[in-house]
Amino acid sequence: MKECRHVAIIMDGNGRWAKAQGKPRTAGHLVGSDNVRTIAIAADEMGIEYLTLYAFSTENWKRSNDEVNYIMNLPAVFFRKYMKEFLDRGFRMNILGELDALPSSTRKVLEDAMEESRNNTGLNLNICMNYGSQREILLAAKKYAKDVLEGKADLNLDEEGFEQYLMTDGFPPVDLLIRTSGEQRISNYLLWQIAYAELEFVQESWPEFTPDVLKRCLDEFTHRDRRFGGVKNV
Ligand code: IPE
Ligand code: IPE
Ligand code: MG
């Protein structure tokens, strides 16, 4: 099987899924957050080492206060339910995004999850919260510039060196990017890290994205011919 170490998912369609059930959008976010546990466990069992999930973007603040507040409270609910199980399974939680802009109670829950799992060596479960890729790259450029000004870095920076300034520092590149719910766009997600990722857009909404759908995506991945700019092997 072709190696697929790092899977990233744009978990889209919670709102439409809820609406189709005659429920408020927030009901979709609750079912969606429970599905994070299901898919993380399945991904781990399928041998994936890094699972990077888009939970809330820097653009999602445009939504109603009610919806934003509901999403901001979800990490507390989620980790209260599942953290013990994640620790038992050896998952390491990483949160990517600008945590400073989150409500302090949300930030604390996320920081605690990272701290409690910091020594684990199992699945890296990466949750992107108040994450935007352009913002990430801009912050990286600023950090690098500061290091240069302070004499801690010189101008001989290469791609690998720049990656150390990104929020994904230490992660391998994304092998497979999946977006649920039919939309075919990237929405400011991992622009640097998906340079050579395979892209898959599935019709299922995030609440409908089962381990079987993940398996189907991985099967499709094994049929892709990854060339990385080289010549096709015949
Ligand atoms: C994804 O589902 C979750 C977040 C972006 C927070 P959406 O809330 O975008 O659901 P749709 O796309 O409106 O159906
Ligand atoms: C992308 O979904 C962000 C997350 C899944 C967290 P959106 O629903 O916000 O994306 P657009 O607005 O349809 O591009
Ligand atoms: Mg959406």
Query: What confidence tens digit (pLDDT) does each residue in 77-112 have?
Result: 999 999 999 999 999 999 999 999 999 999 999 999
Which residues' Cβ are closer than 6 Å to ligand 1? 11-16, 56, 60, 71, 181
234 — pLDDT class (breaks 50, 70, 90): low
194 — pLDDT class (breaks 50, 70, 90): very high
Query: What confidence tens digit (pLDDT) does each residue in 13-25 have?
Result: 999 999 999 999 9
Q: What CA–CA distance (Å, rounded) separates 10 from 139?
A: 22
Greatest C-alpha distance within the chain: 59
Instruction: Identify which ligand lies nearest to the alpha carbon of 16.
Output: 1
Judge whether 12 counts as a catalytic residue: yes
Judge whether 60 counts as a catalytic residue: yes
Nearest Cα to Cα of residue 49 among 227, 174, 186: 174
232 — pLDDT class (breaks 50, 70, 90): confident
- Give the mutation target among 54, 57, 190 for probing the ligand 2 site: most ligand atoms within 8 A of CB: 57
User: Is 188 near ligand 2, meaning CB less than 6 Å away?
Assistant: no
- Closest residue by Cα to atom 3, ligand 1, is 12
Q: Is 218 exposed, middle or buried (0-12, 13-18, 19+ CB in 10 A)?
A: buried
